[in-house]
Structure 1
């Protein structure tokens, strides 16, 4: 476990990073607005699983191994962008014409899987874990690998609480909007727009220096 000074600094930095709008915030919010707070929470849980998996990859040195292969960054970037565009297309195809847009139990599993895969296909997320976590490791402390795992899991838990609160807040607006006829399609269109914007963001990313 890192020393107290590094731990407090890590928590403060994590909270500051979370309140800055980013891809994860957009994914949770768009799912909650389109399908309700349960879908937003499912997306938050999917992001948490991806965070834990990336923490394990970084702790085991797999992150650096993947990024050492020159085409890996571009493969992840293009794969992630194509996946996001596919999600946008699916949202437009299935935009509800009438009735409640609340997610079913089966679709909640789909949202969870989509959020997990989307995070794992974002090369910037893996790079973030590779750069951010080691800054708060105490060189004179316990095993470095265990410190990295502890910090990564702690970050994932903090993010889960934040995204869960965000999902509940956005889900409240979904409940208020769902009574309107126009809003029955608004959620799906908004989700498609967010996925397209995130795909464009991935495509415009440059290689890491």
Structure 2
């Protein structure tokens, strides 16, 4: 059983991380601004499935998978950054065209989120180092790490849903003649997410 004080501290840390924009948030917000709530939520679902897979690897203590990600760290993140820039260019070029003309399918929106979640290998390395810091039962840590992973996933999902909903409200406020501005802001956010990926070192 994790002491309540440690669990509360962990939840606060998770909330702080969920409120910090990164590549995943950039994709969710950019998609919601361009295509609306449904596409944003589907993208958030894809992001969080990827996150849960990474948390499962970290919680299971699969060091060889973490090591494999580490060896290909730069290749994976460069690919993810290039993908985000490609999405940004598409959104910039179609700015003001209206969501119905180019909105991604449910599978495509989900797939985007999943792809970008896996395109940021630093999250897996972070989870592998972050979760054990809150473990109090060092003799049998797996159960506590599993609980922490579930809590982290729940907070991350709630945070991503809130980001998607907020972006959708901003999109509604910028409808009509401001739609093109919203689309270009969306493209800029995606480029920002790519920049964060490129800036992510092995620190």
TM-score w.r.t. the length of structure 1 is 0.82
- Is residue 2:158 matched to residue 1:155? no
**Equivalent residue number for residue 20 of structure 1:** 20
Give the Cα separation in 2 of the matches to 1:117 and 1:149.
Answer: 24
- Is residue 2:133 matched to residue 1:138? no
Q: What's the offset of the Cα at 1:195? A: 2.0
Q: CA RMSD in A?
A: 2.5
Give the Cα separation in 1 of the matches to 2:72 and 2:40.
Answer: 30
Q: Deviations over 1:62-111 (max 9, x none)?
A: 3x3244356321122222122222222332344453xx426998623312
Q: What's the offset of the Cα at 1:129? A: 0.9
CA spacing shift, 1:140–1:58, aligned 2, 3 Å: closer
Give the Cα separation in 1 of the matches to 2:104 and 2:12.
Answer: 37
Q: Deviations over 1:128-182 (max 9, x none)?
A: 21121111112257x422322221121111121222123222212212222x234
* Alpha-carbon contact 1:67-1:73 (below 8 Å) kept: no
Give the Cα separation in 2 of the matches to 1:146 and 1:126.
Answer: 19
Q: 1:190 aligns with which of 155, 161, 185?
A: 185
Q: What's the offset of the Cα at 1:17? A: 2.1
Higher mean C-alpha deviation, range 49-58 or range 14-23: 14-23
- Paired residues for 1:171-186 under 5 Å: 171-178=168-175, 180-183=176-179, 185-186=180-181
Unmatched 5+ stretches in structure 2: none
* Alpha-carbon contact 1:55-1:148 (below 8 Å) kept: no
Give the Cα separation in 2 of the matches to 1:4 and 1:67.
Answer: 29
